[in-house]
Structure 1
Amino acid sequence: MTRTLDMWGNVIIAGFLALPLAVLAVLVLARIRRRAGHPAPVRTSLADVGIVVGTAPWIWMILTPVTGQTGVSLVPFKDLAAVVSAPWDTVLVQVGGNLLVFAALGALLPVRTARMASAARIAAVAAACSTLVEVLQYGLRLGRFSSIDDVIVNTAGAVLSALITRRWWARSIPAGTVPR
């Protein structure tokens, strides 16, 4: 766990320092959207900024070059089985971290728009984003191992997060009406 903090402490600090800027971004974006007559300016602004703030640090970590084993694993659950037999802190960092990568996206995208208010749609978006990240890791030769298991766990984290926020999912707005 200490190794994780040593490696990624700067990302954690930057994330906390970015929070006041995120609040400011929500306020400014909501104000702009309110003036433009947007039907849900605060809700969509919170969701948009939350998706970025909740996902960007993870992407930063994932796409940071490291020295380590490189390669590709396309056999589902092979790498996950190896990780589960590792020490508990490794399991926590690997599985927990992968569950959180697209958690903000999964939790807030269906809150943002009714078009994404479906676990299947969240799974599709998260799987596509996760696949892109894995391809980038391999293609950019970042010293990382690209695995289908990462895509599976990232997607599961997004869907679980979406289900947690289900009661706040956006509803379709009938044409010609503006909710208050």
Structure 2
Amino acid sequence: MPARRTRRFVLFVPVLLGAAVLAFVAQRPLGRRAGWDGWVGTVNGVVFLAAVALPVAAAAVWWLARRRRVAGAGPGWARRSALADVGMVYGTLPWVWMILLPGVDPGGPRRRVNLVPLHDLAEVVAAGPPATAVAQIGGNLLVFAAFGFLAPLRFAALASGWRVLALGSAGSVLVETAQYVLRLDRVSSVDDVLLNAGGAALAALASRRWWRRTA
């Protein structure tokens, strides 16, 4: 086996084992929920399905890269573009799925909206324990982080932190609007938009050295 393939194999094995451990930990509480609701209607269910889907995502990267090489693309670009395409979907869809999970009273008359910047964020920091605040803020920063990191590598037109910030803001507004329209009994908050968009922009800056080189 060539040295490069050996390195990839050695790196992939810990990732696969980590996904298996994560899936095992996430699935333990699912037996308490009857039917499909426990698997698709809870955070643990989404985490479990995302972990299980990791090998499928890896296979999709290989298949896309192979198809693009056959179509005439260079090996390096075929791999990078395939990884970016699959990574943007795999790294974003579970977070959006969790955001759109219904609250306590879905379909009810209550619709909660907060358009005051930093109001909800201040309440989370003041009211909850530090670990909860860090988890909630960190989760919001990660919603579009995969998109922000990989989109500039995939599309030359998005090789700009400001453009990624704008797209992250638009995507977050769509998600928050969906929460309101679908009556999911969740708070549609401007703070979520700020954190989601900020996470995308920070991720774009983290990959800046690579997409500037590609450009």
- Common fold by TM > 0.5: yes
RMSD: 1.6
- Give CA-to-partner distance per residue, 1:87-113, whole Å, 9 cap, x none: 112202210110110010011101112
Partner of residue 178, structure 2:
136
Partner of residue 28, structure 1:
63
Distance in 2 separating the partners of 1:38 and 1:110? 19
Distance in 2 separating the partners of 1:120 and 1:34? 32
Partner of residue 163, structure 2:
121
Moved more, 156-165 or 126-135: 156-165
1:74 and 2:109 correspond: no
| Shift, 1:70, TM fit | 4.1
Unaligned runs of 5+ in 1: 173-180
Partner of residue 89, structure 2:
52
Distance in 2 separating the partners of 1:32 and 1:118? 29
Unaligned runs of 5+ in 2: 1-25, 30-41
- Matches of residues 1-180 of structure 1 in structure 2 within 5 Å? 7-38=42-73, 40-67=77-104, 70-85=111-126, 86-169=128-211, 171-172=214-215
2:116 aligned partner, one-letter code: V
| Shift, 1:36, TM fit | 1.9
- Give CA-to-partner distance per residue, 1:56-78, whole Å, 9 cap, x none: 11011011112167411111111
3-state SS of 2:53 partner: helix
Moved more, 68-77 or 85-94: 68-77
Distance in 2 separating the partners of 1:145 and 1:28? 40
**Matched positions, count:** 168
1:30 aligned partner, one-letter code: A
- Give CA-to-partner distance per residue, 1:124-173, whole Å, 9 cap, x none: 1100000000000110011110001000000111111111111111634x
Distance in 2 separating the partners of 1:66 and 1:22? 29
3-state SS of 1:169 partner: helix
Moved more, 56-65 or 38-47: 38-47
Higher relative contact order (CA 8 A, sep 6+): 1
Distance in 1 separating the partners of 2:43 and 2:178? 20
Give me the identity figure in percent. 51
Higher Rg of the two aligned structures: 2
Distance in 1 separating the partners of 2:171 and 2:81? 21
2:193 aligned partner, one-letter code: V
- Normalised by the length of structure 2, the TM-score is 0.74
Distance in 2 separating the partners of 1:58 and 1:116? 22
- Normalised by the length of structure 1, the TM-score is 0.88
